[in-house]
Amino acid sequence: MEVNVLNIKGEDTGRKIALNEAIFGITPNDHAIYLAVKQYMANRRQGTHKSKERSEISGSTRKLGRQKGGGGARRGDINSPVLVGGARVFGPKPRDYSFKLNKKVKALARMSALSYKAQANDIVVVEDFTFEAPKTKEFVNVINNLKVNGKKLLMVLPEADKNVYLSARNLERTNLAIASALNTYSVLDAETLVITERALKAIEETLMTNK
């Protein structure tokens, strides 16, 4: 599959670039995508949730009433879970939600997500560019020229570019990613991918290595 290479003015450079069929043209594996997204979401969880158990509640340990004959359910001290303000039974405790996923499965998931975008023609390839200084207005002009304004956008760069990052960070529905750190969730979450030429090569090198 070939796509036209545009410049930041939105003009066709007259060049085409081929998308690697082994990455952008595979039959997507939905289960691999599910596992990769599940891992990504799990890794984002802090896991710091905590509720107090009976031994951790501040209160007297005196037994409130007799064991039998009170006409109601048995209960012990004021920290009993059956009373308002008492402890919680089997409440949440701090834990780590992360889990391991094989590199090949994660690579398959990314290739599947990229293949979905390629099938839907939601990939735009642009010439490599940078800004001399952070200018949000310049980045907005690039988006408008590429005719991807109004869409949830993920721009993939070959490496970190401070000026481009600072130009885009205040824009809603616009995210930046480095090719080597591209993940399945970000690809699927975006409506359109804008990939620079060097970033495209970096994606291919990364995924073909882990394939």
Q: What is the CATH number of domain 2-46+98-210?
A: 3.40.1370.10
Please name every residue paired with 153 in a beta bridge, in sequence order, or none if there are none.
174, 192
CA distance 121 to 6: 15
List the chain pLDDT tens, one digit each, 211 residues.
Answer: 788 899 999 898 889 999 999 999 999 999 999 999 999 999 999 999 999 999 899 989 899 888 999 888 888 899 999 899 899 999 999 999 999 999 999 999 999 999 999 999 999 999 999 999 999 999 999 999 999 988 999 999 999 999 999 999 999 999 999 999 999 999 999 999 999 999 999 999 999 877 6
Report the 10 Å Cβ neighbour count for 89: 11
Q: Output b/e per residue, 38-50; b: 16+ Cβ within 10 A.
A: ebbeeeeeeeeee
Q: How far is CA 93 from CA 55, 58, 65, 79, 84, in A?
A: 14, 18, 31, 19, 21
Residue intervals in the chain for CATH 3.40.1370.10:
2-46+98-210
What pTM value is reported for the model? 0.83
Q: Are the C-beta atoms of residues 194 and 153 closer than 8 Å to each other?
A: yes
